């Protein structure tokens, strides 16, 4: 069964834009428009309302289009799961594991989970796509990646399914030869760090803004960076700041003279999510990785 038109229609709806969908699918816009007209002729009714001359999302599903979109997702998912089930008859796990994540998350993923997974399954190859949340979702929609890793609060549940989550806490990372040099501490309180010069990641800014404990405007913020790796660099290389970043308990710090301590007052406010395109059935290698990750969490 050739379901390519169905797949392309799903991508068109998920991007909400004819030009963007054509770029993701690597086909021309007239070709995609022709496919849409073919489907509408086949069903004898419009599937989409197209608003001309507007930026961003300019497509709206008709009632018939909404039914077709839902059924197309189900059909494509069945086709994909059938293919994967047959492929899985071969017990050897191989293929390419394709993941999209922010640069700071991918580093810890490679250092911990992928390193161990690759030892157990040496035939697996890897494609890791790094970027901001928009890049992660774009890679999933285009099919370049199967699994995305991001902040749970930023997931569009209309387009993506969450298949696994993990708690993340707010940690302070600092040079032990600069801050709290004479004290042994197992954790830090907000009182301990609120007067310190701080380097914040985008994630820590969101955690602080959502908490009743802290007012961002009263903090001594030296830098705010998009990624937590850059925030940590400020603390590690200059020694001028305490970096505040969300991390999970398994992650490690790989900077000399830098340690991390948890801020318990911010526990339970952030979760890391593993996401897939809605209705997408994971390939055998991706499913094996998720099972491996959960078993070792």
pLDDT digits (tens, 9 = 90+) for 61-101: 999 999 999 888 888 878 877 776 676 655 567 788 999 98
Token pair, residue 197, equals: 């010069």
Q: Decide if pLDDT at 105 tops 80.
A: no
Tell which wins on pLDDT, 194 or 273.
273
Q: Decide if pLDDT at 139 tops 60.
A: yes
Q: Are 95 and 124 in contact (CB under 8 A)?
A: yes
- Residue 108 pLDDT class (50, 70, 90 cuts): confident
**Is the full-model pTM beyond 0.85?**
no
61: nearest Cα among 10, 110, 13 = 13
* CA dist list (Å): 181 to 177, 235, 255, 258: 6, 15, 17, 12
Mean pLDDT (whole number) for 93-110? 81
**CA distance linking residue 218 with residue 205, whole number of Å:** 13
Mean pLDDT (whole number) for 109-122? 86
Q: Decide if pLDDT at 144 tops 70.
A: yes
Is the backbone of residue 185 left (phi > 0), alpha (psi -120 to 50) or beta?
beta
Q: What is the mean pLDDT of the chain?
A: 84
The per-residue pLDDT for 295 is 87
**CA distance linking residue 148 with residue 146, whole number of Å:** 7
Neighbouring residues of 104: CB distance < 8 A, sequence distance ≥ 6: 201, 227, 228, 229, 245
Lowest-pLDDT range of 31-40, 119-128, 183-192, 281-290: 183-192
The per-residue pLDDT for 289 is 92
Q: Decide if pLDDT at 132 tops 70.
A: yes
Query: By three-state DSSP, how is residue 143 classified?
Result: coil
Tell which wins on pLDDT, 25 or 107.
25
Mean pLDDT (whole number) for 31-37? 91
* CA dist list (Å): 40 to 18, 65, 138, 164: 16, 9, 26, 37
Per-residue pLDDT tens over the stretch 184-205: 777 888 888 878 899 998 878 8
Domains of the chain: 3-71 (1.10.10.10), 93-166+273-296 (3.40.190.10), 167-269 (3.40.190.10)
Per-residue pLDDT tens over the stretch 258-269: 888 888 887 766
**CA distance linking residue 92 with residue 137, whole number of Å:** 30
Which DSSP state fits 24? H
Token pair, residue 19, equals: 């030009």
Mean pLDDT (whole number) for 265-284? 83
- Residue 254 pLDDT class (50, 70, 90 cuts): confident
Q: Decide if pLDDT at 28 tops 80.
A: yes
């Amino acid at each position: 069964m050739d379901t390519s038109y169905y797949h392309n229609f799903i991508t068109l709806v998920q991007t909400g834009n004819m030009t963007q969908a054509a770029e993701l699918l690597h086909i021309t816009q007239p070709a995609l428009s022709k496919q849409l007209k073919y489907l509408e002729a086949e069903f004898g009714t419009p599937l989409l309302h197209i608003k001309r001359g507007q930026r961003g999302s300019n497509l709206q599903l008709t009632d018939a289009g909404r039914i077709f979109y839902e059924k197309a997702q189900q059909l494509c998912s069945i086709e994909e799961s059938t293919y994967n089930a047959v492929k899985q008859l071969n017990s050897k796990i191989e293929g390419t594991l394709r993941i999209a994540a922010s640069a700071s998350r991918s580093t810890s993923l490679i250092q911990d989970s992928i390193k161990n997974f690759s030892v157990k399954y040496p035939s697996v190859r890897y494609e890791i796509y790094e970027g901001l949340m928009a890049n992660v979702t774009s890679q999933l929609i285009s099919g370049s990646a199967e699994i995305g890793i991001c902040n749970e609060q930023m997931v569009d549940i209309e387009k993506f399914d969450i298949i696994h989550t993990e708690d993340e806490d707010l940690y302070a990372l600092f040079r032990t030869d600069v801050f709290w040099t004479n004290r042994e501490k197992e954790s830090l309180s907000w009182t301990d760090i609120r007067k310190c010069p701080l380097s914040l990641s985008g994630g820590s800014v969101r955690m602080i803004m959502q908490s009743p404990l802290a007012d961002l405007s009263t903090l001594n913020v030296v830098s705010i960076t998009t990624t937590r790796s850059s925030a940590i660099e400020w603390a590690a290389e200059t020694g001028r700041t305490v970096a505040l970043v969300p991390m999970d308990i398994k992650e490690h710090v790989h900077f000399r003279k830098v340690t991390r301590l948890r801020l318990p007052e911010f526990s339970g406010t952030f979760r890391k999510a593993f996401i897939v395109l809605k209705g997408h059935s994971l390939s055998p290698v991706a499913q094996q990785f998720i099972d491996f990750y959960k078993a070792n969490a």
